[in-house]
Structure formats: structure tokens, C-alpha cells
């Protein structure tokens, strides 16, 4: 689950709609920073990751999954806001016939 670890837990969360886009607002029991994200290289982390970058996801509290390379974060104290911003390639695929 995004932003949780052995010391930090989710206190509350909600979804909002801003400019027609879903935004997840997640509140934690202690201050949170923006996730550093996953490597955008072809095969994930430079430490020898085995999961291709295109198959890495962030899991949200409602079960939604956002591709790691399409997630945008904004942290403010104990609140983390998460948006799904499709990549240019994902947007083009919607309109191409192949």
C-alpha cells in the first residue's frame, strides 16, 4: 500500500474530482514525504530489479492501481495527494488503431 510501512499507517482517505480527474487524498498518522517513485528505466531499479518499469504499480486504499510511471504526488504534512496522469504514450494508444 502506498506510503505505509512498519511505523506509518493510514488514518483516513478520500477521493476527490478536480478538473475531471480523480485525486486520492490520503492522511497518515505521522508526516509523510512524496514517494521517490520507481525507476522509469526499462527494467526497474538499478539494483537489479526484475519487474519491468511498465508493470510497476502503486496500490491505493480502495484497491485502485496506478502505474508507477503515471503517478503524481503532492505531500503536505500528514496528507499525501495522488493523481493518475497518463503518459503521452498511453494517451496516444487510445487514438491509434493498432
Mind listing the pLDDT tens digit of every residue in the chain (98 residues)? 566 666 788 899 999 998 888 899 999 998 888 776 544 444 444 555 567 766 788 888 888 888 888 888 999 999 999 998 876 665 566 666 66
Cα-Cα-Cα-Cα torsion 45, 48, 50, 54, nearest 10 degrees, comes to 30
**The three cell numbers locating residue 51:** 519487474
Q: What is the CA radius of gyration of the chain?
A: 15
pLDDT for residue 72: 87
Residue 11: which of 29, 31, 32 has the closest Cα?
29
The DSSP H or E segment spanning 91 is helix 88-95
pLDDT for residue 78: 92
pLDDT for residue 16: 93
pLDDT for residue 19: 85
Amino acid at each position: 500500500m502506498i506510503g505505509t510501512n512498519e511505523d506509518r499507517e493510514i488514518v483516513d482517505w478520500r477521493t476527490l474530482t478536480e478538473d475531471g480527474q480523480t485525486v486520492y487524498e490520503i492522511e497518515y498518522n505521522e508526516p509523510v514525504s512524496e514517494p521517490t517513485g520507481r525507476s522509469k528505466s526499462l527494467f526497474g531499479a538499478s539494483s537489479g530489479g526484475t519487474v519491468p518499469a511498465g508493470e510497476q504499480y502503486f496500490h491505493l486504499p480502495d484497491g485502485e492501481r496506478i502505474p508507477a510511471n503515471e503517478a503524481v504526488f503532492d505531500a503536505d504534512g500528514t496528507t499525501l495527494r495522488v493523481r493518475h496522469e497518463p503518459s503521452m504514450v498511453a494517451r496516444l494508444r487510445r487514438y491509434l488503431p493498432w
